[in-house]
Structure 1
Amino acid sequence: MECAALCMLAATVGFVPSSDTHRCSYCVEARSTYSDCFDDVIECAYRDPSSLIFCLNVYEHATYMLIHELPSNMFRSSMVHYSARCLSYEKFYVPDDTIKKIGANGMCKFADVQSCECDVCKTHTTATVSTTTVLYVLNKM
């Protein structure tokens, strides 16, 4: 699925990233309330649009700077938050060829995950400024 469509889906399902997120990756999978829906996914979508469900899987990437006692002991720790938001075909129309692709992919796999610069998950640039104050005491005797 193109990034524009992924970003639109993210906005439509009301995705809100965590405050510590600096980028997101996305994957879409199709689900259904009918067990035979994926035998003919287009027929299923037209027969009962509310039965075909698109789920947006979002992987939020966050990096933390950890400091242990001294600044020289700084290191980065990464974390990925995962969430899924779903919406029926009735609420989010996509073209037939896209339905076929999503239906054929099955569940999201690592190879299906896409990095997109969506407005709902903008890359945040954080600048950290560290200041050190050194106090010199002169003893005059």
Structure 2
Amino acid sequence: MDYLTLKWMHILSSTALMGTGLGIAFFMWMAHLSCDARNIAATARIVVIADAVFTAPAVVVQFVTGLWLAKLLHLPLGTFWIKTALILFVVTGACWLPVVWLQIKARDLARQAVIAGAPLSPVYRRVMRWWFWLGWPAFISVIAIFWLMVHKPLGV
């Protein structure tokens, strides 16, 4: 594959990753703030699907094309900005994987509340607190990766 096509795929996957991540976070948080179990269950169901259809493939494409570009350009993975981006990529994944599980859990808890005609449980609120706080390091890491991709600092 030629360089420009590979770079285009890398940029497109990073855009999909950032866009779906922000969109999912926004809609999930707005549903949570509504305190409406039916709304939360419906939104979380769609969010879980969006993560599977858009975010997960973008993560794979981002990783593969990034490594491929480094190889094509003869850039060692130990190059400061590449190594730092890879570390941040792992941090993002370490936060995102539990967030996916938490979204599924929130969906199920909201669905149970709807079926039981009960309010959202304290467990639901704990799940969403973890979801919220794990999202921040993932988001900040992705922003930092974008900065590294653009600036390509040489490091110390």
For normalisation by structure 1, the TM-score amounts to 0.27
For normalisation by structure 2, the TM-score amounts to 0.25
User: Max radius of gyration: which structure?
Assistant: 1
Q: Which has the higher contact order (CA 8 A, sep 6+)?
A: 1
